Each structure stands twice: as C-alpha cells, then as structure tokens.
A and B are shown apart, each in its own frame.
Chain A
Amino acid sequence: MLLVARDVVVAYGGVRAVNGVSVDLAPAASLGLIGPNGAGKSSFLGALGGQVPLTGGSIELEGYEIGDLPAFKRARRGITRTFQMTSEFARMTVFENLITAGHGATGASLRNVVLRRSETRQAERDVATLAWAILDRFEMSHVADLYGAELSGGQRRLVEIMRCLMREPKVLLLDEPMVGVAPHLVEKLITDLRSIRDDGIALVIVEHALEVVQELCSRVVVMALGRPIAAGSFDEVVADPAVQAAYVG
C-alpha cells in the first residue's frame, strides 16, 4: 500500500471532528470522501496533508510514519494538496506558481542559491522545461504570464493542480476541486484528473458534487459526524440506508 491511515482522530478542543477513520490507498487509486457538511471530510484531508495536527491514530506513506511530520516534510515525501479556497500565489504569474513548486526538497534553499550557483542554474532550467510541459499538457501556456489573481475560478484550480504536479507527487489530496469552476469546464477538469490518476498518482477527493465522485472515484468513503458510515463503490454506498439517512438527516 502507498498510503495507510489508521484510526485517525482530529479533535478541536473537546470536539472530535474526525473520530477513527481508516483508509488504504494504492498507487493510481482514487478515493472519494463524501458526507454532509460538518462530517469531518476536510479535517481528515488536513490530517493527511499535515495542515491539521493528528490527535490520534497513524498515517504511513510507503511504510514510513508521517503522522507527526509538518506539512512541508510530507510534501517532500510525496503528499501534496489543493485547498477548498483556491490557493494560487496571487501576485506571481502562473509560470512562477509552477516553477516555485518544482525545486524538490531543498533546491530553492538560500544555501544552494548562494553557494551552488551552477547546480541551481541547471535546476532552474530543468524546472522551467517541466513547467512548460505541464502548461502545454493542460492547455494553459497562453496564461503563463498572467497573475494568479487574474485567472478565472477554473483556471485557478488548474494552476493549483499543475503546481502540485511539479512536485511529482505520489498522493494528491483535492478539497472540493469543482468549487468555483464554470459548469462547462467541469468535464475538462474531470478528464484532466483522470489522466493524472492514470499516471500513477493516487487521488483523495473531497467533493459535494456526487456526479464528480461517481465519474472519478473507484472507491468512496462516506463520513458523518466524524465517523465513517459506509465504504465501497459509488453505487454501493449510495444504496446504503445509513448513507441515505445521513444525507436526509
């Protein structure tokens, strides 16, 4: 298994937002997390990505415990993510957004920039080549010089996703990737995400739009009040009476 999360607990004060959730993820898997508002989906994603501290349980990436690592160290090990509110670097161009992510663990460090100048220059060239390849792949080369703040909602999502790909991740966490995306672009974004998955990157997707989950996710976990209440294929979980009860209230 690529990613193994066991009995994950996230507590804010006395409130257990996530209360014992476990998932396994193989390479190129796509896991959907669904559930009503307040189910703890985003908190669970934050626990995997390192944005939210783990109160209990364990998270292993390729057999290595990462549950107590800060977010940037998890990213260096291969877990990266997008955010519910788009998180493009607003006062940097799209191209800069991408190349900033491309320098590997310590490539952009002050020490390398000052002391290893020729290696850094070579790394800059490699990163630029990779960035152009990714921009071409997602048909975004024409906006390379636009600032993050000048993009449409759908383009911002793509910038976030492309930026994650610059890190060549093993796991990509997506928190409501379709929010703010114009309806006619949703289909393109689904196709793009499918092609990313087919590259061998495992996806974990929190999404309210169930048709997106149905299209993309081979396996779905339904959460309610911090607990998993059902797991299986999309068709299996939506047929589950417990899931229907949770959604209807």
Chain B
Amino acid sequence: MTAWSYYIATLTVYFGVNVLSALSLNLQFGFAGVVNFGYIIFQAVGAYIAAVVVLGPSSGTFQQYVFGARLPFGVALLLATAAGAVLSLLIGLFSLRNIRRDYQAAILLIISLIGTQVVQGYVPLFNGSNGITGVPRPLSALPLNLQQYQWAYAGWVLLAAGIVYAVVTWLSRSAWGRALRATRDQEDAAAAIGLNVTALRLQVFVIGGAVAGLSGGLLVEYIGAWSPDAWGYAETFVIFTALFVGGIGNYRGAVLGVLLVPIIFLEVPRFLPQVGYPGLMDSVEWIAIGAAWMLCLYFRPQGIVPERRNRARRGEAAPHAAPVRERVGAA
C-alpha cells in the first residue's frame, strides 16, 4: 500500500510538472505557432538554478556548480522561473527574428543539443554528466511522515499548475491572445494590420520559458537531483506528442494529452511483462510515442479535444469559447 501511495504521489508530481510543460508549449505553439523544439533546456535551466541556490556554496570536491547559495525554496522557485524567462529572452532575441518558422524550430532543436553538450562538457557549470544531487527537500521541517510529505508536495505542484492554467487561459482569451493566433495563422497579414509579429513571438516565448523554468524548479525540489540524462531533447517531443494527441490550441486538450501520453505510454509498459533483451521495452515506449504522434496527425489532426470556436454575440465585447455541438455549414 505504501509503495503504491508513493508511486501514485510521484506520478501526480510528474503529471503536474508535465501539465506546466504542456501549458507552456501550448501557449507558444498552439496559440502563437512558435515551434519550440528546445523546450527542455528552459525546464533544465530552472531545475539547475533552483538546485544550486538552495544547496549552499559549491565545495568543489563532491560536486561543482555556479551560483551556490542557501536561499529559501520559494525564492529558488522564483529564480528558476526568472532563469527560464531570461534564457528564453536571450535565445529568442536571435532565433525568432525574421526567419522562417521551420528554420526557427531547427535552430531551437540545435540549441537544445548544444546545451546538453555544454553542460556535460563544462563540469564547473553544473557538475557535468554526473549532475547535481542532494538538493534538500523544501519544508522538511514540517511534521509529516514521508508519505504525507509526498502527497503534500503533489498537492503543491497541482496548485501551481492550476494557477498557471488560469493565467495562461486568461491571457490566451484576451486581445493579446487573439493577436498571437493571428500571427500563427498568417504572419504577413498580421503585420499588415499593425501587429508586431516579432515582439509578440518574443513575449510568448519568454512567458513560456518562465513556466518551463518553474516546472523544472518544482521537479528538482521533488526528486532532489538533476543531470543531463533528465533533459534529453526527446523529452520535448513527449510533450509535443501529448499536445497533438490532446488537441492543440486549447488547454483542456493539453491536460488530457499529458494524462494520456507521458503517464500512460511511459508508465503502463512498466507493468507489462518484460520480453526480449533488457531495454527492449524502453525502446518500445519511444516507438509507441512516435507512433501515437503520427497516427494522431493522420487520423485526427485536431486532437481529441479540438480548438473551440468562439461564437460572437451582438452587444458582447469579445466572443467566449463555447463548445461546438453542431458543425456550422458553410454559407
């Protein structure tokens, strides 16, 4: 029972973190059309920053890292969020300028690969391939046993995900969110009606990066360690698959996709009988995720929960999202 409780609580934490990732990518890709194939490095920078600012100064022997400090975990989360935003700003400033969007996606994927190499190769930065361990648990002073603590943390991550959900939903429904969708659908036409496409993309990239940094901070404070193995470029594609399966351009679809893809595809195989050589089932997981993405693109490109149609009403300021029950026939 305890083992199950521990397992479910851990899954809940991962679910919350993945929801944050999906919210970030859905804002960037689903609403603004920015294909952030480098997503995982913005989560990683948040995790590293959240880790080093609570670990205390680097001893230089056991593990080496920069920015060593001993700050409260709440401050660490804020710094993780800021780190995701700042890195996004720096990368966005040169990768989002007047370049075709498919090239932007390629650039971001390459930056993600370079990021892993740099952190692995330059050990003084974040302790190289071994990664950083021993990150103290926040609120360990609370009188909770391990199981209670797990669930308290899971609740805290879900609360954070819920708050971010509310904020990004509100932003997406605003006039600003509409401007993002216009740049997504037709860049030149958006500019021709006065929208500053580059600025809008950069804004959404930085907001998404901040959410990514927060998700990394929340995850590292739970698992207590972070290494380059945790943020391979493929992790980005798990979240993209979740978005495509769930439905792009709406946040309920994003949450559903996160429930289905990273949780079911990565967890269910653990309970299947291990067949073939060791590691075969792990490979099958990745094949299943790739296949899910392709099948979804082929058979249901709008995803399980499609983007909602916003119906207009005379006398109302802006149309609200309403479920489409009947298909509106072309007039």
Q: How many Å lie between the Cα of A87 and that of B181 in the bound state? A: 13
The answer, yes or no, to whether B193 is at the interface (CB within 8 Å) is yes
Contacts of B175 in A (CB 8 A): 99-100, 103, 107-108, 112-113, 120, 123-124
In whole Å, how far is B190's beta carbon from the nearest beta carbon of chain A? 8
Q: Which of B43-51, B118-126, B316-324 contacts A (4 or more CB under 8 A)?
A: B316-324
Q: How many A-B residue pairs have CB under 8 A?
A: 136
Q: Which of B18-26, B102-110, B194-202, B265-273 contacts A (4 or more CB under 8 A)?
A: B194-202
Q: Are B191 and A93 in contact (CB under 8 A)?
A: no
Q: How many Å lie between the Cα of A108 and that of B95 in the bound state? A: 24
Residue among A100, A145, A151 making CB contact with B182, cutoff 8 Å? A100
Contacts of A92 in B (CB 8 A): 178, 181-182, 185
Q: Which residue of B lies closest to A123 (CB)?
A: B175
Instruction: Give the contact-size bracket for chain B.
Output: 35 or more
Q: How many Å lie between the Cα of A83 and that of B181 in the bound state? A: 19
Residue among B171, B174, B249, B310 making CB contact with A93, cutoff 8 Å? B310
In whole Å, how far is B243's beta carbon from the nearest beta carbon of chain A? 15
Given the known interface contacts A89-B189, A160-B189, the answer about A100 and B317 at a Cβ–Cβ threshold of 8 Å is: no
Residue among B189, B197, B331 making CB contact with A143, cutoff 8 Å? B331
The answer, yes or no, to whether A152 is at the interface (CB within 8 Å) is yes
Q: Which residue of A lies closest to B167 (CB)?
A: A114
Given the known interface contacts A76-B194, A132-B314, A167-B193, the answer about A91 and B249 at a Cβ–Cβ threshold of 8 Å is: yes
In this complex, how many residues of chain A approach chain B with their Cβ under 8 Å: the count is 56
Residue among A50, A95, A166 making CB contact with B319, cutoff 8 Å? A95
The answer, yes or no, to whether B284 is at the interface (CB within 8 Å) is no
Q: Are A72 and B197 in contact (CB under 8 A)?
A: yes
The answer, yes or no, to whether A105 is at the interface (CB within 8 Å) is yes
Q: Are B309 and A145 in contact (CB under 8 A)?
A: yes
Q: How many Å lie between the Cα of A108 and that of B188 in the bound state? A: 18
The answer, yes or no, to whether A81 is at the interface (CB within 8 Å) is yes
In whole Å, how far is A16's beta carbon from the nearest beta carbon of chain B? 23
Q: How many Å lie between the Cα of A9 and that of B62 in the bound state? A: 65
Residue among A76, A87, A150 making CB contact with B189, cutoff 8 Å? A87
Please name 14 pairs of A and B residues whose Cβ atoms are closer than 8 Å in the assembled complex, sorted by A.
Answer: A49-B192, A71-B188, A72-B192, A80-B194, A90-B185, A90-B186, A91-B185, A100-B193, A103-B179, A108-B179, A123-B175, A128-B316, A146-B328, A163-B189
A91-B307, A95-B312, A100-B195 known; 8 other A-B pairs, CB under 8 Å? A49-B192, A72-B191, A72-B192, A89-B185, A91-B181, A96-B319, A107-B175, A120-B175
Q: 6 nearest interchain CB pairs?
A: A87-B189, A95-B312, A124-B317, A75-B194, A108-B175, A89-B185
